[in-house]
């Protein structure tokens, strides 16, 4: 296991009347692509700005590469940032923007020249060095901001919602490009985003934040398939949440009774509560017109609503007991959409092991 490059220790940040970041603790490893994910106002940007040095923690310490950063101003930290607005200097050309960070720290001009052209090549802007920022598109300006930060060869690159201003197509290609770039330069990337697709597709590990606290830190698949709380399950992707009563405890597993759906047995560790939440992802649920054979959870109901997304459709099935279950179906053939209609009687079924018990 590689060693931690950034350590966040007991960090709390209070603004008048609010606690923006509440006693946060975690390590970010060398060469990791780390994402801070959460809804707006969850404290993720404040945390990033504390790492960059633009905010001072109320409590706790930030250690970067073994050094406590408490007394280090932003201009002396071994980190660089790509700002949400890109903050490309409007009165300088692309080359001057990229050279700026080297010039102010007294790098010899011959070295500046080679490093600037390397950096521009890295972001495929070598032909636009003489342009002014107002002659560039949004995507190109972002590349300038990226080159300007990377040319400093930081230990950690911070990215504040870097893709939020780009259109959907460009965002998707930049996601891939950023992931490739991170692998090729071998620098730790910390990205702040509210977009779960962005975090899931790029990051090695994701920290989900909510109301100033870190809810869960896990790799993308761990976060999606094994969320630790109702909040995380609900925030990442779509989920059906059911309330269940624990009716039996058999050591390594528990029996749960879901009102209106039936009983099931689930593996479980830790202290057993009386009531429990059960989460099932909509794409794990199968839909059929006839009563399915075999084991697993099943329920019958009527299609109450439906939304078409091209590649998939979301079906909302209402059971007799008033439970609303959302089901994602793949539109596998061109007439899939015609096979089910609002009001139809259908069965839903899923494997018991795709049900996830949540206590928080």
Partner 1 sequence: MTDASLRPKSSILRFVTSFGQAPLDYGRRFWLRLMVAVTFVLLYAPIATLIAFSFNDSKRNIVWKGFTLKYYAVAWNNASLVEAFYNSLAIAVMCTILSTIIGSMVALLLWRFQFPGKSAYEGFMTLPIVIPEICMGVAMLAFFARVGWPVGMPWPLNLSAITIAHVAFAFPFVAVVVRSRMAGFNRELEEASKDLGASEWQTFWNVIFPYMKPGIIAGALLAFTLSLDDFVITFFTSGPDTITFPVKVYSLVRRGVSPDINAASTALIVITVVATIFAMKLQAPEKQG
Binding site for partner 1 (CB under 8 A): 52, 54, 73-76, 79-81, 83-85, 87, 89-91, 100-101, 104-105, 133-136, 145, 148-149, 152
Greatest CA separation found in the chain?
A: 76
H/E stretch holding 302 reads strand 297-308
Q: How far is the CB of 91 from partner 1 (least distance, A)?
A: 5
Nearer CB in complex with partner 1: 80/228? 80
Place of tokens 């091209």: 310
Q: Are strands 33-37 and 205-210 parallel, antiparallel or unpaired?
A: parallel
Task: Point out which residues pair with 277 in neighbouring strands.
Answer: 243, 358
- Name the residue nearer to partner 1 (CB basis): 76 or 305: 76
- Report yes or no: 224 and 236 within 8 Å, Cβ to Cβ: yes
Nearer to partner 1, 38 or 154 (CB): 154
Residue number, 190 or 208, with CB nearest to partner 1: 190
Strand partners, 72: none
Burial (0-12, 13-18, 19+ Cβ within 10 Å), 57: buried
Report the nearest approach of partner 1 to the CB of residue 106 (Å).
9
Min CB(161)–partner 1 separation in Å: 12
Closest distance to partner 1 from the beta carbon of 12 (Å) = 22
For residue 8, give Cα distances in angstroms to 22, 29, 210, 267, 283: 12, 11, 17, 34, 36
Q: Least distance in Å: CB of 86 to partner 1?
A: 8
Nearer to partner 1, 73 or 186 (CB): 73
């Amino acid at each position: 296991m590689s060693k931690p490059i950034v350590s966040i220790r007991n960090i709390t940040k209070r603004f008048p009347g609010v606690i923006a970041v509440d006693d946060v603790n975690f390590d970010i490893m060398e060469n990791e692509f780390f994402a801070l994910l959460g809804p707006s106002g969850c404290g993720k940007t404040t945390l990033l700005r504390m790492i960059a040095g633009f905010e001072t923690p109320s409590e706790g310490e930030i250690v970067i590469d073994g050094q406590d950063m408490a007394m280090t101003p932003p201009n002396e930290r071994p980190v660089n940032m790509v700002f949400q607005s890109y903050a490309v200097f409007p009165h300088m050309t692309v080359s001057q923007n990229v050279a700026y960070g080297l010039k102010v720290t007294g790098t010899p001009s011959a070295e500046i020249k080679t490093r600037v052209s390397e950096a521009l090549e890295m972001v495929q802007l070598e032909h636009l060095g003489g342009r002014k920022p107002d002659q560039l598109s949004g995507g190109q300006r972002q590349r300038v901001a990226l080159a300007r930060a990377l040319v400093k060869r930081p230990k950690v690159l911070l990215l504040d919602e870097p893709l939020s201003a780009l259109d959907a197509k460009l965002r998707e290609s930049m996601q891939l490009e950023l992931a490739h770039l991170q692998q090729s330069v071998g620098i730790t990337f910390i990205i702040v985003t509210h977009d779960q697709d962005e975090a899931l597709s790029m990051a090695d590990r994701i920290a989900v934040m909510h109301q100033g606290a870190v809810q869960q830190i896990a790799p993308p698949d761990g976060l999606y398939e094994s969320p630790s709380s109702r909040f995380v399950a609900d925030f990442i992707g779509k989920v059906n949440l059911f309330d269940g009563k624990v009716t039996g405890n058999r050591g390594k597993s528990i029996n749960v009774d879901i009102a209106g759906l039936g009983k099931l047995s689930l593996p479980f560790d830790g202290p057993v509560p009386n009531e429990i939440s059960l989460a099932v992802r909509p794409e794990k649920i199968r839909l059929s017109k006839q009563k399915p054979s075999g084991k697993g959870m099943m329920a019958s109901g009527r299609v109450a609503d439906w939304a078409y997304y091209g590649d998939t459709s979301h079906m909302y099935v209402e059971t007799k007991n008033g439970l609303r279950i959302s089901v994602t179906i793949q539109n596998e053939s061109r007439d899939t959409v015609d096979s089910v209609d609002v009001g139809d009687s259908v069965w839903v079924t899923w494997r018991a092991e795709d049900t996830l018990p949540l206590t928080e």
